[in-house]
Homo-oligomer: A and B are copies of this chain.
Amino acid sequence: MKIALLGMGTVGTGVYEIINEEKGNYFANAQEKVNIKKVLVRDKTKKRKLDVSEDLLTDSFDEILEDQEIEAVIFAMGGMEPEYSYMKDAMRNKKHVITANKAVVSEYLDTLLKLAEENNVMFLFEASVGGGIPIITSLKETLKINRIDEIKGILNGTSNFILSKMSSEGRDFDDVLKEAQELGFAEADPSADVDGFDVSRKLAILSSLAFGCHIKDEDIYKRGIREVSKSDMEMFDNLGYVLKYLAHSKMDDGKYCATVEPVLLSSKNIMSNVNEEFNIVSIHGNIIGELQFYGKGAGKNATANAVVGDLLYIINNSERRDDIILDKTVENKKLDIFQGKYYLRVDIKNHEEFKKIIDMIDETSRVKKMMVEKSQIFVVTEELRAYTVNDLAQRIADMGNELFYARIVQ
């Protein structure tokens, strides 16, 4: 099979290496069947780490599109446009599409799946969620027999690195973020990682497949990790909890909630030991119960492995099938389905504020534990609905008090 590769960044290079350099195992046997005929790059003259023959390089997507021999196109580019248009053009020209691009997949999944069906080609996107973890394939397989009603995941390495470091070294958010930026683990603008946009797209893709309807980034409630402090981390340690940035969606009787927010896990929870660049995804099926999948969530080789896995699927399956259909009618209940005990920390300046805050908390919830230290109140509440806590937090924030809160998931 002749294919084209779009992009020669980290993932593109990894894909090229696995296919052409026999780093792999059984894939070497399929060598004769896979031939990268064209590589699309922005600048053909750019010096590259990898020695790619000049004949392969092109800066014209049309050249790939019009090449009848090319049966599949691998998208190893991260933007929204022209990637989305290119994907549609490729499928209209009867080429299979494989992509690692979570932005396009989460936003246009429904359209792209339909286009694949209309043109009798495959649209595969294993690498768009969880790097090397075979979560899309596993989710599809589980769905053949199960209804899935819950997804939980740690799906962002940068935020996980920051929280792990803050916890193990007793440091503040800004301090660790700065280090992560210097080490190249975090972007100059860290918003995608620490405010939930990256995770949200991944959760959107997983939830869409699991619940059978197109759930987008905009349907997901997001809360960042910027407010967590060193003193919170100390308190979590004392209470036996670990703070993780969790993607969580749940379906109940045709209604769902999907959130990305910091939550507290018991230190006995498997997910509490997932650190640094590793990701984990938990899915719950009505027959199989809970399944969890753990692996490297990013990086050249792991992500490229997922891309090449999709390519092998196309090579080995001449006919399309396992079609995903996003035709269910579901209602987004925002935060309404989630509830739990909550941890809440409020900074106070004087006794008057202390009394006022305590009164506000008392009106909302029975308090299970309370600690007061220096100028901070720490509270663990009884079971509360998520929207109740959000409302309380908003009212406290409106008074000018700094605070942090997190649902306790166990």
- Interface residues of chain A, those whose CB is within 8 Å of chain B, are 18, 23-27, 132-134, 137-138, 141-148, 268-270, 272-274, 285-296, 299, 301-302, 304-305, 308-309, 312, 316, 321-322
Contact = CB atoms under 8 A, between A and B. Distances in A.
Tell me the interface secondary structure of chain A in the complex: mixed
A291 B133 contact: yes
A286 B26 CA distance: 12
Contact of A134 (B27, B141, B321): B141
B270 A18 contact: no
A294 B138 CA distance: 12
A142 B134 CA distance: 9
A143 B24 CA distance: 9
29 contacts: A18-B145, A23-B287, A24-B145, A24-B147, A24-B286, A25-B144, A25-B145, A25-B148, A25-B286, A26-B145, A27-B145, A132-B288, A132-B291, A134-B141, A134-B142, A134-B291, A138-B138, A144-B312, A270-B294, A273-B273, A288-B295, A288-B301, A289-B296, A290-B294, A290-B295, A290-B296, A291-B293, A292-B292, A292-B293
Nearest to A325: B26
Given A18-B287, A25-B146, A27-B145, 10 more contacts: A18-B145, A24-B145, A24-B287, A25-B148, A146-B305, A269-B273, A288-B295, A289-B301, A291-B294, A292-B292
Contacts of A322: 316
A316 to B, nearest CB: 6
A299 to B, nearest CB: 8
B288 A296 contact: yes
Stoichiometry (number of copies): 2
A166 B299 CA distance: 40
A301 B18 CA distance: 38
Given A269-B273, A273-B273, A309-B141, A146 B24 contact: yes
A282 to B, nearest CB: 8
Contacts of A143: 25-26
A344 to B, nearest CB: 26
A137 B291 CA distance: 14
A322 B141 CA distance: 17
Contacts of A268: 273
Most-contacted residue by chain B among A141, A274, A287 (CB, 10 A): A287
Residue in A145, A305, A309 with the greatest tally of chain B CB atoms within 10 Å: A145
A296 B316 CA distance: 30
A211 B407 CA distance: 44
A27 B273 CA distance: 35
A302 B288 contact: yes
Contacts of A295: 288-292
A349 to B, nearest CB: 38
A268 B164 CA distance: 12
Contacts of A292: 292-295
Contact of A145 (B290, B291, B305, B321): B305
Nearest to A283: B295
Nearest to A289: B296
Given A273-B273, A294-B270, A145 B309 contact: yes
